[in-house]
Chain A
Amino acid sequence: MRASLIVACHNEGTALGKTLESCIESAGNLDYEIVVADDASTDGSAENVERRFPQARIHRHNQRRGASPTKAMGARHARGEVLLFLDGHCLPEGNALVRLVEDVERVRGEVVTPQIAALDTNRWRNALNQVGNGYHFDLLTFQCSWQRLDQMRAVFESGWKFYESAALIGCAFAVGRALYDRLWGFDPHMSFYGVEDLDFALKCWLMGHRVLHDPSAVIGHKFQNQFERYAVPAEHVVVNELRAARKNFSSSVWDDWVEQRRMRSLGPLAEHPEGLWARAWSLFEEGRPSAEQERSYLQSRRTRDEFWYAERFGLAWPRLESIQRAGQIRYSLPSPSPGPSPSPAPCNLTGIEASNVQLYIGEPGMFIAKGSNVSGVQWSTTPAGNPATGSGANFKTRWSATGTVTVTATCGSTTKTFSVRIVAIEVQINNTAATNDDLVALKCDFPPQRFNVNCQARLLGPAAVAGNVVLTNPDGRLRFPNPANTTVALTLAANGAFSAFQISGESASAALGDAVIQLHEDSATGFVITQKSVTVFSFDQAKITLNQGGNYAIVNLPTGPSYTVNPGNAVTFSSIARIRPAGINCTAPQVANLNIGIMQESSNFSSQQVWDTPTMNWLPATASGTAVDVALSMSQNTVYAPAVVQPVADTETTVAPLYDQPNKPDTLDPNSLQRPIGCQAGGASANATSFDTPSDPAPPTFSLPIQVAGVTVGNAVWGHLVKVVRKEHFRTFCVLFNTNTQQFCAFRQATWDLNVDSSALNQHAVVNADGAAAATPATGVSANHAPTAVTTTPVGAGTQHFVKP
């Protein structure tokens, strides 16, 4: 099943039925199911829709559990590939539901949110001038706000524009089933109202996925200024926040967050004399095992942390810098129970735990003091990191040079040290350390091919363990190297040996070095260790120009008569192309062998030769008086299959696959390969040129044995070539040619035709203007290049009578 519409509801009244009606209309022919997840409604709304909508499956809580468990229940019963969550008071505009499902499929199952309009439930109409787009929340206070589209980062997926949203509002969104499960879905232990949607969005981002917003899908939602249909105990909102924070924040941030949340929750709570914070903490502790279980799952798999999230979405907290400033933020230990902080106890430092034993240059490393009462630990580094010193239970710093560094934690008279290897990565394009060859050619369309460049990377510095890196190319100009390879994973050996990879050009560079390879630690979204700039060079201003030459005539060469153009040629060719972007050094290895040349193919070939003036050469043994009648003229017609397309280098395999190739035997024009123009060095300013004069090598005479009564009496020889007709269609290409690999890529093509007849005047080739290459030039020799018909016949009925003397 393609989709499941999960409608969560509690005492929705008539709005629930209207919501289902509207959804059914919006969904049209979508392959979907309706799952109504009812949170113990008491107003008869669930029974009502069960009666009215037999296609809907109703699942109910026996007692009120809250929004998050209700949505989780709906998802458990859903069978669709895409889960579409709606509240029971929503009105989709147009085909918004279908669009959301398509969006999720388009972004391979990631979360997609619609634009949310204010729904007037009395008129059952959306106020389209009152809409919200992106959703945003503060990690410290969990305060939410809407974001305008211009405040959001636009991304393109399969040509469709989306916006990255920091969070989502749970009233309406869609997600692929697989991702929902991977994120452990909605937290079934969050109670009553709120935070479950923020928690889900935060999990989504930290686990390496995205929340994408499509403003073209519009769904109305009834917003409440106050809770009209149910009460929301304040302590449950705090509990839900505690669960979200515990699951998603790392230990140091959780400590900081709990302390600050506690300070904001010290007020009284009706019916609970211990106050809001103590009550909330007590409830949180009751459900804590499930939170810890989910936390363990999430923290072991996430690819991003809350620092990344804060930086990504412009949050003031948490920030690495704030943690690194000793004393400005104090981290409380996880509180065993609510209440005032305990008095400091003597420090007991037993060791240092580190996030990694090996760090890359610039990569923040986290060091955690082990023991008890370690909040007063003083940290120092040798050689100095950035920051060089710090204090507190945790210490985060980084280094800017390779080597073995020592982190020292001091608490009272106790000192502990920890050694870390700082390493870097060297990336070589074209397997050289030089940078003038950090180039790769743009892929070719005709023929479809990629010009892969061998590359390699290795660890530098005192590596102790291998490094796992993932190479990405955010600008999309490169592949590694096949079309589907947008990333490549490498394991870099600890001994510094190179690991190989390949790149190819997917789209052209606009400027030198604008194709950037990023090397991430462990995953495509991991820490960016280093990056390497590459240029995807391409060619523009390509041109193949054909110029019509002279007229055909039968001329007498030493070889005998020939139907040709003399002096001159039938057609002259001129080919040129410019390398881009500006500034390419064409002496670089990837470019040094690239030249602009010419290829040509022919088809629809036919020819005719006519000889006359017969003579008779009798065999000596033929008896005198033997008489024969011989046709006055003989015609030989040759027709090739029109579909047969042959490469044309005039059968000269030495210059193939080009039409002409300097420094190869039988080259016509020594200027037929030229460097591209536009080079910073090593280029050319001239066109590649060549010429063609298709000529029939008609022998000067035609002969056949003559038989009388089955006995050969002599040979008739028609000694005068009187007529030649030649038809042929040509397609000539401007190509890029690698003289080393013999690879080529067609840029432009121009056609020309011969339809010449020696019995008429002013017979010449007809040339056409060029256009973009539309096909790959023919290469090799077609297996079916033999003529389909050769017909030799007398011309007319006239004969000459010969008698042997």
Chain B
Amino acid sequence: MNDPELQLAQRKPEQYGYDARATRDMATVQFIPAKMPSEQWLVLSISPAAHSGSATLVGGAIDGTTGRIIDASSGKPVEPSALPRGVVQEGSWVATMRFGSAAGKRRGSYHWFDDLPTHVRKLSANDLYNPFSRGGEVLCRHNPQLQGSREFDSVSLLPEKWDVHARGVFEALRKDSELFSAPLSPSKQTHLQALVEGDNAILSAMAFRTLIEAGKIDRKALRANLTKAQGYRRAVFAYVALAHPKLLGEAALEEELTRVIEATRRVPDHRGIALALATTTLLHPESPASRSVGRKLLSHIRRHSNQISKAKKDPYLEQIFTVLQIL
């Protein structure tokens, strides 16, 4: 296990959304190539157009001379109310990795309109960060026969530099398509625990999730795995644990996370758990982990990081606290 720490370099505010989305996606990633043999799993590098993610009038345009709104296809003036609203998604992609078959397009473009909802109860993963609006590396299932957004399915945003692990996951699943399926025999548990601690971060995340959902991660194992993991991997482990508070119990979960926080000696190592807590709070405001445990632990991280840094604030954590407006 050799995880780089979460970095600050060249981050824009929305890239905290990127980190949150990537954490969530890796904690829930569905990479099951055996079940969809006719479709291809790819790693795509997405480059959105500058206006991708903007509100717009579907099928509308502006006459650059008169300033009037016109029908884009006919060029004739049109009542704006006759045109539906939407959010434009437009850009290009390059397949940087292809699994199963070498055939298929290596690059392409996309263009569709998403609906513009009027009521939003809470944030979705796409609200946090939409790679088709803002770019990024994604693992997805690709079906070029379909149109619009349906061309891309099971889209998982990859943390930076995690694309290199995708091949290993594919190979492992090709050898054993039931690798992450119950029941878990003792030897399978041992194998999964080895994957948790291995170098392939995606396999590690999937193995950790399988074990915790099967109730095979006790308090001691949780603490040990969280302590060993760093960077995105620690964030993903913590997010998985927070998403299953009933498996260990809320009190036990809070206690173990507190012990991990208190055992942390370097401020940057707090970033992973803080990111997981922030992501959980944004995406699952109803969960106990958000309502009580999350807020308490984020306060605890703030206090503890102040202690060990002698009041020198960590910019990454501060960005989480302020940009995500959790506290």
Cβ of A412 within 8 Å of any chain B Cβ, yes or no, is no
Residue-wise, chain A 616-637 has the 8 Å CB interface mask toward B (1 for contact) of 0100000000111111000010
Cβ of A668 within 8 Å of any chain B Cβ, yes or no, is yes
* Pairwise interchain contact B64-A630, C-beta atoms closer than 8 A: yes
A559 contact set on B, CB distance < 8 A: 14, 17, 123, 127-129
Residue-wise, chain B 36-62 has the 8 Å CB interface mask toward A (1 for contact) of 000000000000011101111100111
Given contacts A651-B121, A702-B56, A715-B50, contact A697 B116 (CB under 8 A): yes
A710 contact set on B, CB distance < 8 A: 75
Residue-wise, chain B 48-82 has the 8 Å CB interface mask toward A (1 for contact) of 01110111110011111101011010010000110
In angstroms, how far is the closest chain A Cβ from the Cβ of B242?
15
B63 contact set on A, CB distance < 8 A: 707-708
CA distance in complex: A702, B52 (Å) = 10
CA distance in complex: A706, B66 (Å) = 11
CA distance in complex: A318, B140 (Å) = 94
Cβ of B325 within 8 Å of any chain A Cβ, yes or no, is yes
Cβ of A791 within 8 Å of any chain B Cβ, yes or no, is yes
* Pairwise interchain contact A556-B13, C-beta atoms closer than 8 A: yes
Cβ of A753 within 8 Å of any chain B Cβ, yes or no, is no
Cβ of B33 within 8 Å of any chain A Cβ, yes or no, is no
Question: In residues 82-111 of chain A, which contact B (Cβ within 8 Å)?
Answer: none
* Pairwise interchain contact B80-A790, C-beta atoms closer than 8 A: yes
Cβ of A149 within 8 Å of any chain B Cβ, yes or no, is no
Quick one: which of B14, B80, B129 contacts A793, CB cutoff 8 A? B80
Cβ of B87 within 8 Å of any chain A Cβ, yes or no, is yes
CA distance in complex: A555, B75 (Å) = 37
B170 contact set on A, CB distance < 8 A: none
A67 contact set on B, CB distance < 8 A: none
Cβ of B288 within 8 Å of any chain A Cβ, yes or no, is yes
* Pairwise interchain contact B17-A669, C-beta atoms closer than 8 A: no
* Pairwise interchain contact A699-B285, C-beta atoms closer than 8 A: no
In angstroms, how far is the closest chain A Cβ from the Cβ of B43?
24
Cβ of A713 within 8 Å of any chain B Cβ, yes or no, is yes
A351 contact set on B, CB distance < 8 A: none
Closest A residue to B65 by beta carbon equals A708
Quick one: which of A609, A650, A708 contacts B120, CB cutoff 8 A? A650
B310 contact set on A, CB distance < 8 A: none
Quick one: which of B65, B72, B81, B127 contacts A705, CB cutoff 8 A? B72
Cβ of A755 within 8 Å of any chain B Cβ, yes or no, is no
A630 contact set on B, CB distance < 8 A: 62, 64, 67
A716 contact set on B, CB distance < 8 A: 62
Instruction: Report the number of A-B residue pairs with Cβ-Cβ less than 8 Å.
Output: 154
CA distance in complex: A670, B250 (Å) = 14
B291 contact set on A, CB distance < 8 A: 670
Closest B residue to A711 by beta carbon equals B75
B84 contact set on A, CB distance < 8 A: 790
A799 contact set on B, CB distance < 8 A: 67
A626 contact set on B, CB distance < 8 A: 64
Residue-wise, chain B 260-291 has the 8 Å CB interface mask toward A (1 for contact) of 00000000000000000000001001111001
A709 contact set on B, CB distance < 8 A: 65
Given contacts A617-B50, A710-B75, A793-B80, contact A668 B121 (CB under 8 A): yes
* Pairwise interchain contact A567-B62, C-beta atoms closer than 8 A: no
* Pairwise interchain contact A668-B50, C-beta atoms closer than 8 A: no
Cβ of B122 within 8 Å of any chain A Cβ, yes or no, is yes
Closest A residue to B59 by beta carbon equals A705
Question: In residues 1-48 of chain B, which contact A (Cβ within 8 Å)?
Answer: 13-14, 16-17, 20
CA distance in complex: A638, B121 (Å) = 19
A791 contact set on B, CB distance < 8 A: 80-81
Closest B residue to A662 by beta carbon equals B286
In angstroms, how far is the closest chain B Cβ from the Cβ of A631?
6
* Pairwise interchain contact A557-B325, C-beta atoms closer than 8 A: yes
* Pairwise interchain contact A707-B75, C-beta atoms closer than 8 A: yes
* Pairwise interchain contact A789-B81, C-beta atoms closer than 8 A: yes
CA distance in complex: A630, B54 (Å) = 16
State the interface size on chain B (CB cutoff 8 A).
51
Residue-wise, chain B 158-202 has the 8 Å CB interface mask toward A (1 for contact) of 000000000000000000000000000000000000000000000
Question: In residues 523-577 of chain A, which contact B (Cβ within 8 Å)?
Answer: 555-560, 566-567
CA distance in complex: A33, B56 (Å) = 80
* Pairwise interchain contact A717-B55, C-beta atoms closer than 8 A: no
Cβ of A712 within 8 Å of any chain B Cβ, yes or no, is yes
CA distance in complex: A722, B54 (Å) = 14
A792 contact set on B, CB distance < 8 A: 57, 60, 69, 80, 83, 85
CA distance in complex: A566, B324 (Å) = 11
Quick one: which of A638, A667, A703 contacts B85, CB cutoff 8 A? A638
* Pairwise interchain contact B80-A704, C-beta atoms closer than 8 A: no
* Pairwise interchain contact A702-B54, C-beta atoms closer than 8 A: yes
Residue-wise, chain A 683-706 has the 8 Å CB interface mask toward B (1 for contact) of 000000000001111111111111
Cβ of B323 within 8 Å of any chain A Cβ, yes or no, is yes
Question: In residues 655-675 of chain A, which contact B (Cβ within 8 Å)?
Answer: 666-670
Cβ of A423 within 8 Å of any chain B Cβ, yes or no, is no
CA distance in complex: A787, B118 (Å) = 10
Cβ of A607 within 8 Å of any chain B Cβ, yes or no, is yes
Cβ of B117 within 8 Å of any chain A Cβ, yes or no, is yes
Closest A residue to B63 by beta carbon equals A707
Given contacts A650-B121, A702-B56, A791-B80, contact A617 B286 (CB under 8 A): no
Given contacts A617-B49, A790-B85, contact A704 B56 (CB under 8 A): yes
Residue-wise, chain A 342-357 has the 8 Å CB interface mask toward B (1 for contact) of 0000000000000000
CA distance in complex: A707, B65 (Å) = 8
Given contacts A648-B119, A668-B286, contact A706 B55 (CB under 8 A): no
Closest A residue to B60 by beta carbon equals A704
Closest A residue to B127 by beta carbon equals A559
B60 contact set on A, CB distance < 8 A: 704-705, 792
Cβ of A747 within 8 Å of any chain B Cβ, yes or no, is no
A361 contact set on B, CB distance < 8 A: none
Cβ of B203 within 8 Å of any chain A Cβ, yes or no, is no
B117 contact set on A, CB distance < 8 A: 651, 697
CA distance in complex: A694, B122 (Å) = 10
Cβ of B297 within 8 Å of any chain A Cβ, yes or no, is no
Given contacts A558-B14, A707-B72, contact A699 B51 (CB under 8 A): no
* Pairwise interchain contact B20-A712, C-beta atoms closer than 8 A: no
Cβ of A43 within 8 Å of any chain B Cβ, yes or no, is no
B287 contact set on A, CB distance < 8 A: 670
Of B56, B65, B128, B287, chain A has the most CB atoms within 10 Å of the CB of B56
* Pairwise interchain contact A668-B119, C-beta atoms closer than 8 A: no
B301 contact set on A, CB distance < 8 A: none
* Pairwise interchain contact A670-B118, C-beta atoms closer than 8 A: no
A669 contact set on B, CB distance < 8 A: 286
Cβ of A411 within 8 Å of any chain B Cβ, yes or no, is no
Of A696, A700, A703, A717, chain B has the most CB atoms within 10 Å of the CB of A703
In angstroms, how far is the closest chain B Cβ from the Cβ of A633?
12
CA distance in complex: A214, B325 (Å) = 76
Given contacts A558-B14, A558-B128, contact A699 B55 (CB under 8 A): yes
Name 6 extra pairs, CB < 8 A, besides A559-B14, A670-B291, A699-B54.
Answer: A559-B17, A559-B128, A630-B67, A701-B54, A706-B62, A790-B84
Q: List 26 A-B contacts (CB under 8 A).
A: A555-B325, A556-B323, A557-B123, A558-B16, A558-B282, A567-B325, A607-B118, A628-B64, A629-B67, A631-B62, A651-B119, A651-B121, A652-B121, A668-B121, A668-B285, A668-B286, A669-B286, A697-B117, A697-B118, A701-B54, A703-B56, A704-B56, A704-B69, A706-B64, A712-B61, A799-B67
Q: Which 3 A-B pairs have the closest CB atoms?
A: A628-B64, A558-B17, A650-B121
